[in-house]
Structure 1
Amino acid sequence: MEEEFEFGFTEDPKFSVERYEEMIRNHDQYFFDAQAFENIIDYYIEKNDPAKALQVSEYARNQHPFATVFLVKQAQLLVVMNRPDEAFAALDKAAMLEASDADIYIIRGNLYESMERNAEALENYEKALDLAEETDEILLHMAYVHQNMGDYDTAITYLKLCLKQNMENQDALYELAFCYDVMDNQEESVQFYQQYIDNEPYSYAAWYNLGNAFTKLSLFEKAIDAYDYAILIKDSFASAYFNKGNALVNLEKYAEAIEVYRQTFEYEQPNADTYCAIGECYEKLEQMDEARSFYKKSVKMDAKLADAWFGIGVTLDFEERYFEALHFYKKALDLDIANADYWFAIADAEYKLGHLVEAEHAYEKVVELNPLDVDAWLDYSSIMYEQERLLDAIEVISEAIKNNPDAAELYYRMVAYLFAKGEYNEALNQLEMALAADPEKRYILFDYLPQLQENKVIIDIINRYTR
């Protein structure tokens, strides 16, 4: 006959686990009270062994058939193990035993949420709200569901309710920032975080999010102050250092930015993005060897970081090593084929190497991807002008003007091409439009055709606009 031992909750949880494992080894049958079983299940959950935890919950249910806690634990474990049907079944059994257990509706809500069955998820969370003592996590999940439905206004309402329940819910603070971001409503975001900080001045997450909101409003000085507070409260907050570095870059304070980026290494492993950002600062300071060395560290850590490959190309381009630069630009382009900046750099390098056909093709890609890039249109047309393809050059500038009707540079360039082609009347019409748009940029015309400075008709027209 099997001998039964009883182990109670007075036992040390570690002792309960040892006795449980001994029971399994001996194929024996010991009795544990409910608390001891809970401790054993939690031990295996912490050890990241859901299969063992599930096995314990089966034993627990056999010994305590009316304790809903083990059905709830089982459901949680089945969710983790991606067995939703069995999880639903366990929850249904739990609801029959104790319909007022909030966890039943929370887990069921989580399941429906993961299946994007939003109405059913919300229905379960609503039930849980009435039953649970602490509701901030439920409110947070209701916000997630509304985000999934694209209803960010309602999501914000629930996130604010969540924070009212628990001012320290970090997830809610970050989600709120995300919602304001999606709605492009940084002013309201700033207002919210400033009010929040009045009540919670030591919330590093609130200061950090305030910094991010100021950054998006291009108020970089204010952003830096906010990041400084976040760092003061939590000096190991690597993301705050990184974003402060970005704000300094926007203020063109590159040397200071490098120092701040380097501080992140004290609190987290160096990563490819930070190396790349430091490389970019050295590039702006025209310290190309340093820049290249950091870009190389970056691609060594993450070979898929296109910006770092591109950065290596920029440093070589600066040293007039165009052929080598092209190789790295193309590596960047392979990783991000629709990046207009990469195409522009390739076009420029090909041009400098005298590869006009390749340059023309690359400029064509630039203006296709970013038709608002006035410089690209000018360079693109310039290649044709140099080859005396005046009609093509005029056609390109016409297309450029259609996309950028307010860009005076394009009209001045059009005037130069029309004069070169001998279409004087149309050239004078375009000159009037150029001068109306921006008389200060008239030097563009003379850069291209210096002889026009002697042309009395042109000088008279210019004088009319510049007196």
Structure 2
Amino acid sequence: MMKKLFYFLVIAGFVFSFSFAFAQTAQDYFNSGNAELKVQNYDKAIEFFTKAIELNPKYDSAFCNRGTAYYNKAMLHTNDKEDLNLAIKDYTSAIELNKYDPDYYLFRGSVYEKLGDYFKALNDYDLAITLNPQDEYYYLIRSQALRNSGNYEKALYDIYKAIDLDPSLKGDYNIQKEIKDLKFMIK
């Protein structure tokens, strides 16, 4: 009887440890989601990020990347509003978990801009710039939203601010064209 109990405990121990050896962590699912995101398999990426979030509901990066998967999926399906709204929801969750990451505001702002809600987009871009005022890219992104909302003077100011932060932008053809176009629209 003792021998059978011993064998049972040994086998149970192997089965128990074997199952833990193959259990995936939130980080594993997150990494798998990123791999799927990279190859544009958005549905599978969403599935992996969802599993990561189920295992760690405070995983702000998983919310953010799932939002990105929804956003990219929406772009494939001619701005699918349902996916865009899911992206906003996930970016908002990421912000609630980590309000100090400027990229989360930038990403959510991009979705608002895609939906034509320039007020909310600009608000998010302003917050991103407040958190990281030395990133010229944020000013260029905000300048596009300002331009699209008809605020040409502020758009031009943001382009000049981006050039101040990165003088190499001054020679960029697209930047120079944008400056010329904005000056024309201001007149």
TM-score, with length taken from structure 2? 0.73
Q: How far did 1:307 drift? A: 2.7
- CA–CA distance in 2 between the matches of 1:238 and 1:229? 13
Deviations 1:37-70 (A, max 9, x none): xxxxxxxxxxxxxxxxxxxxxxxxxxxxxxxxxx
Shift of the 260–346 alpha-carbon distance from structure 1 to 2, 3 Å rule, reads: farther
Partner of 2:13: none
Partner of 2:48: 226
The one-letter code matched in structure 2 to 1:262 is T
Alpha carbons 2:71, 2:87 under 8 Å: kept = yes
Shift of the 233–297 alpha-carbon distance from structure 1 to 2, 3 Å rule, reads: same
Shift of the 210–304 alpha-carbon distance from structure 1 to 2, 3 Å rule, reads: same
- CA–CA distance in 2 between the matches of 1:284 and 1:229? 28
Shift of the 314–251 alpha-carbon distance from structure 1 to 2, 3 Å rule, reads: same
- CA–CA distance in 1 between the matches of 2:73 and 2:147? 25
- 1:272 maps to 2:102: yes
For residues 294-373 of structure 1, what are the structure 2 equivalents within 5 Å? 294-338=124-168, 344-354=174-184
Partner of 2:62: 240
Partner of 2:87: 257
- CA–CA distance in 1 between the matches of 2:174 and 2:160? 11
- CA–CA distance in 1 between the matches of 2:105 and 2:131? 9
- 1:209 maps to 2:4: no
Q: How far did 1:229 drift? A: 0.6
For residues 278-293 of structure 1, what are the structure 2 equivalents within 5 Å? 278-293=108-123
Alpha carbons 2:146, 2:155 under 8 Å: kept = yes
- CA–CA distance in 2 between the matches of 1:276 and 1:339? 20
- 1:241 is paired with a residue whose SS is helix
- CA–CA distance in 2 between the matches of 1:265 and 1:319? 25
Q: How far did 1:242 drift? A: 1.1
Aligned length: 158
Q: How far did 1:232 drift? A: 0.7
Shift of the 229–198 alpha-carbon distance from structure 1 to 2, 3 Å rule, reads: farther
Partner of 2:4: none
Q: How far did 1:259 drift? A: 0.7
Partner of 2:3: none
Higher relative contact order (CA closer than 8 Å, sequence separation 6+) = 2
The one-letter code matched in structure 2 to 1:287 is D
Alpha carbons 1:215, 1:247 under 8 Å: kept = yes
Shift of the 207–335 alpha-carbon distance from structure 1 to 2, 3 Å rule, reads: same
Q: How far did 1:254 drift? A: 2.5
Deviations 1:135-180 (A, max 9, x none): xxxxxxxxxxxxxxxxxxxxxxxxxxxxxxxxxxxxxxxxxxxxxx
The one-letter code matched in structure 1 to 2:126 is K
- CA–CA distance in 1 between the matches of 2:111 and 2:92? 12
Q: Percent identity?
A: 24
Q: How far did 1:338 drift? A: 4.8
For residues 34-433 of structure 1, what are the structure 2 equivalents within 5 Å? 200-252=22-74, 253-338=83-168, 344-354=174-184
- CA–CA distance in 2 between the matches of 1:306 and 1:294? 16
Deviations 1:155-213 (A, max 9, x none): xxxxxxxxxxxxxxxxxxxxxxxxxxxxxxxxxxxxxxxxxx99533311111101111
RMSD: 2.6
The one-letter code matched in structure 2 to 1:249 is Y
Shift of the 316–265 alpha-carbon distance from structure 1 to 2, 3 Å rule, reads: closer
The one-letter code matched in structure 2 to 1:206 is D
